[in-house]
Chains A and B, each alone.
Chain A
Amino acid sequence: MSDVSAQIELASPGAVVGEFEHVGELTVEVQKERIVEACRALRDGPSQYVLLSDVTCADFPDEPGRFRLAYQLTSLATGARVRLRAWAGALDPEIESVTSVWPGANWMEREVYDQFGVRFNGHPDLCRILNPLDWEGHPLRRDYPIGGEEVQFSDAV
């Protein structure tokens, strides 16, 4: 087990589901209920992953968890990086928001909500960000078709 997983386990026993090392990148998969604890443990732990670089998502319609979230964490002290992963669930995708750990997660999570429809519980301002407020559907889902969108603002020209 890597140091990163050990740190998470120390703060929240049983949170780590698995870990993978691929093309030189460490990925730690955690239970979605424990994501905030895992993030806080890594931010405050000895390796100081204080910077949340990115939160994003990928849609796997055939997997039971369907929406796989990826959190890219960076340590400013050592330059080390780790990716946390969690599955948000297929039917009613939701996960705790990490805005309480990093306020910068605000827009990143709003983008995931907008594009994938994953709800972040405890988010202070969960609404659409890139698509118009009244947009229907979540465009980055795999079952959202490409093409055929209504041309917007055609009445304004």
Chain B
Amino acid sequence: MSTTDPRTENFPLAAESREAIEAALREQRALTPTERVIASVEAYTPEEAAERTLANEMLADTRPGVRAPLLINLGPNHPSTHGVLRLIVELDGEVVKEVTPVIGYLHTGIEKQCENKTWWQSVTLVTRMDYLAPFANIKAYTMSVEKLLEMEVPARAQWIRVLLAELNRIASHLVWLGTSGLELGAMSVFFYCYRERDNLLDLFEMVSGERMNHRYFQVGGCAQDLPPGFIERLQAFIDEMPRRIDEYEALLTGNPIWKDRMKGVGVLPAEDLIALGVTGPTLRAAGVPHDLRKTNPYSGYEHFQFEVPTATEGDCYARYLVRVREMRESLRILQQVIDGLPEGPTIADDRKVVLPPREELAWSMEALIHHFKLVSEGYKVPAGEAYAPIESPRGEMGCYVVSDGGPKPYRVHMRDPSFVNLQATAPLCRGTYLADLIAIVATLDPVMGGVDR
């Protein structure tokens, strides 16, 4: 990482691309499109730009009426790019000709770390990927491990998982709505959304002791039963929330500025979205009713009555409407969970995998031994591979695990919907205005923790 070039001494980013480009030249291979764009935008002198890059070709085109495109760098720290997303935009006047997303600024190597932790320690790590949907991460992971263990999860635990997953969906959509409003100039929406989200974080705290990055779902079930008084507070939330959603809609749905910024912006045909691997509300807003809760019900979703909101326009406004309606459908599911929550244990009764109940440690030698073995050595998972997909607030969240039969995962991979959906940025933005790019990235709802993992 060290460099002796005084021009780049205080600019580690530029030094990084410089070294990469020199390496590519040494290997005698051409720069890839992404590398070329990065090199262009980080060039310090006209000679340097001309030597290597895009800018050269752009400036060389002197035909009458051809304007030299402008290359601008948005991010990685920019208030409207949802975290550390860097977009290099090639502009012709106000029109976007090409967008190159550059990611990886939040890469923490969680997948590598999981390989060096036991199966049950990894639960803590995967929770931290998509930080707005921690329950979705942890659910995909625990489901894939349960698949390999061929373990039955008790009904009550499944329902509690549904309950928290749906609360999490609402919380995540609230953050999306609030920040999207902020990016498009509707500041008050942000305050309203975060007010309700805080209530949700209080509920999460009540259940798991933490407001974010909960380690509440365990392989086999849930860590504890719901605490006393939780259902009452949840009921109060469910009764209150529809009125709150009406408030957001009153602010936005008919708002002419909101509609102007969003309608007809960022449209791709459904086939193109599917080819790009896009899932979740973005795909549903283009008319494809693909929701894993309906098409491949897991965790007892087949017991609940709910609609899958879709729209046909496929623009930013349709994505907004779909997400708002999804919040209402989640409330419907939550009411059904409260009304029908089955009695019974909240975690599987498998002493070789699941920690024994705390109070038993005081009097049972066996429980103490099991506890000690599970915590110090972990449990073994039969060799094989499994992929467990779930519907996260952003689309298909899948966890692919490979076991070699030992107490540590051989490989953990998260298929994060933010990562895959973000690929649609360039096709969605080509030919739109720079201001539309902000709306498009906002309605794709990428969470950089999930993108970079």
Contacts and interface: CB of A to CB of B under 8 A. Distances in A.
Contacts of A144: 112
B386 A25 contact: yes
A40 interface: no
A23 B276 contact: no
Interface string A71-87: 01010100101010000
B242 interface: no
Contacts of A106: 423
A54 B12 contact: no
Interface string A43-82: 0000000111110101100000000001010101001010
A130 B422 CA distance: 14
B274 A79 contact: no
A145 to B, nearest CB: 10
A152 B385 CA distance: 35
Q: Which of A105, A132, A146, A153 has the most CB of B within 10 A?
A: A132
Contacts of A25: 147, 385-387
A108 interface: yes
A66 B183 CA distance: 47
Interface in A138-157: 139-140, 144, 146, 150, 152-153, 155-156
Contacts of B181: none
B10 interface: yes
Nearest to B109: A139
Binding site secondary structure of chain B? mixed
A126 B112 CA distance: 22
A105 B423 CA distance: 10
Nearest to A136: B23
Contact of B277 (A27, A81, A104, A140): A104
Q: Which of B150, B396, B400, B413 has the most CB of A within 10 A?
A: B413
A123 B33 CA distance: 11
A41 B116 CA distance: 38
Q: Interface size for chain A: under 10, 10 to 19, 20 to 34, or 35 or more residues?
A: 35 or more
B274 A76 contact: yes
Given A23-B147, A76-B290, A139-B112, A133 B20 contact: yes
A17 B79 CA distance: 51
Contacts of B164: none
A133 B35 contact: yes
A115 B104 CA distance: 12
A134 B116 CA distance: 25
B275 A53 contact: no
B387 A54 contact: yes
Interface in B259-309: 274-279, 288, 290, 292, 295-296
Interface string B347-386: 0000000000000000000000000000000000000111
B32 interface: yes
A109 B292 CA distance: 24
Q: Which of A22, A83, A106, A152 has the most CB of B within 10 A?
A: A22
Given A23-B147, A81-B296, 4 more contacts: A22-B386, A24-B147, A56-B413, A107-B423
Interface of A: 22-25, 27, 50-54, 56, 58-59, 70, 72, 74, 76, 79, 81, 83, 102-108, 111, 115, 124-134, 139-140, 144, 146, 150, 152-153, 155-156
Interface of B: 1, 9-10, 12, 16-17, 19-20, 23, 32-35, 38, 103-104, 107, 109, 111-113, 116, 147-148, 150, 274-279, 288, 290, 292, 295-296, 384-387, 389, 396, 398, 400, 402, 410-411, 413, 415, 419-420, 422-423, 452-453
- List 8 A-B pairs, minimum CB-CB distance, nearest first: A104-B277, A133-B20, A134-B19, A79-B295, A54-B415, A104-B276, A58-B411, A130-B104
